[in-house]
Structure 1
Amino acid sequence: MDVLWGERPAPRRGPRPAFDRERIARAGIEIADREGLAAVTMQRVAESLGVTKMALYRYLPGKAELVALMVDIGIGAPPAPGGAGWREALALWARELFVRFHQHPWTLEATRGARPVGPNELGWMEVAVAALAGSGLDGAETLDTVVVLTGHVRALGEQTVAFGTVSAEDPLTTGVQAILAGREDRFPAVSAAFASAAASGNQNQALDYGVDRILDGVAALIASRR
């Protein structure tokens, strides 16, 4: 919490420090983007900066704090909703979150479980919750909406990371169709669905489809309150 939220020390007289926490965190991000989160150690980060590992401990207590800072900097600030209505704002929010996860796949691993969140992460929640202000939803429903949207984005983000693709559907489609070949009579419904999707050209829409259906449900709930 101190690393994420503590006030930065006031400048002192004399030579400026060689590093700051953000520069160290960005060095860790570069390693994680190339090699994954497991490759990030205080030693590796120190080597990339051309200093000893002990020099980093003047700025950060250890790897846990380093990773927390990396996550907050890597995810960055949320998109500005502008003058969009709640639905457009949340759709933009969800799709941009997917982009951030895809840009830094290790953040999916680093954001599992209970942990402190930083200013940028809390800013994402603020934007999503604020979009629903005045909608008629209560606080629990508003927060649950954000949780459901985040879960959908995370699920597809993890699939794209596993497949190494931007789309979560292409590898799945290829794999299932290979298995279905010659077995269409045994799995007629699945075979027909894949054939229809290919004919319509509406494949690889899982992210938008899920976001839209979640927001359809939210819209119906809001309408019922009016």
Structure 2
Amino acid sequence: MRLLWGPPPKPTRGPKPALSPAGIAEAGIEIADSEGLAALSMQRIAGALGYTKMSLYRYVPGKAELIALMVEQAMGEPPASQEGDWRGQLGDWARRLYAVFAHHPWLLDATVGPRPIGPAEVSWMERGVSALAHTRLTGAEQLDALALLAGHARGIAVQARASSQPESQLTAVLGELMTTHRDRFPAVATAMASVAESGGQNQALEFGLDRILAGLDALIAERADPC
């Protein structure tokens, strides 16, 4: 937590250190982006930077701390607050979060379970919750709304990551199977035939966002005018 939240070390006299926590995290991100989180190790990063593994431990205590720094750096600053209503702001927020997951797919694995959270992630939360601050939703409801949107963005990103693997051919194979077994699964067969006729474009991200935001809109309107 001190690495994530503590003040940066004060500069000292003499030559600037060749290594830094940020530089080590950046090297880790490059490896994880190209090969996934499983390929990450302190030894691998040390080799990429041209240093010994032990030299890295002067700046980063271990792999868990390294991944926390990588998450913080990869998440970056949240999108700037835009003018407009809460619905437009949250829609933009969720799309940008999805873009971060799509650009760094390893984040999907690195941001689950108990772990330290840094100021960059909290800044994303702050930006999202602030869009709802002037509505009549309670604080718990504001946080839950953000969790719904983040979960949707994460879920679509997981599907997008899987679509680059051979399993993505499942959709085409399933479509063929539904043609053969239409009598047994008529609803699924009809739906898949409709997707094929429309070009098979996946609008799941936008469809889900619209449904979540419409539901929040209805709740907020109900709170504004309970009669």
TM-score scaled by structure 1?
0.94
Residue 215 of structure 1 is matched in structure 2 by 213
1:203 aligns with 2:201: yes
In structure 1, C-alpha distance between the alignment counterparts of 2:137 and 2:170, rounded to whole Å: 37
In structure 2, C-alpha distance between the alignment counterparts of 1:141 and 1:172, rounded to whole Å: 37
In structure 2, C-alpha distance between the alignment counterparts of 1:62 and 1:178, rounded to whole Å: 49
In structure 2, C-alpha distance between the alignment counterparts of 1:203 and 1:35, rounded to whole Å: 28
Residue 108 of structure 2 is matched in structure 1 by 108
In structure 1, C-alpha distance between the alignment counterparts of 2:53 and 2:200, rounded to whole Å: 51
Within a 5 Å distance, the mapping from 1:47-196 to structure 2 comes to: 47-164=47-164, 171=169, 173-196=171-194
The one-letter amino acid of 2:134's match is: G
In structure 1, C-alpha distance between the alignment counterparts of 2:56 and 2:9, rounded to whole Å: 16
Tell me the C-alpha RMSD between the 2 structures: 1.4
> Is 1:26–1:70's contact at 8 Å kept on the other side of the alignment?
yes
Percent identity over the alignment is 55
Post-superposition offset of 1:172: 5.0
Within a 5 Å distance, the mapping from 1:39-50 to structure 2 comes to: 39-50=39-50
The one-letter amino acid of 2:213's match is: L
Task: Give the ranges of 4+ consecutive aligned residues of structure 1 lying more than 2 Å apart after TM superposition.
Answer: 170-173, 195-203
In structure 2, C-alpha distance between the alignment counterparts of 1:223 and 1:15, rounded to whole Å: 61
In structure 1, C-alpha distance between the alignment counterparts of 2:170 and 2:137, rounded to whole Å: 37
> Is 1:77–1:120's contact at 8 Å kept on the other side of the alignment?
yes
TM-score scaled by structure 2?
0.93
Post-superposition offset of 1:171: 4.5
Residue 2 of structure 1 is matched in structure 2 by 2
Post-superposition offset of 1:201: 4.9
> Is 1:81–1:92's contact at 8 Å kept on the other side of the alignment?
no
In structure 2, C-alpha distance between the alignment counterparts of 1:175 and 1:2, rounded to whole Å: 50
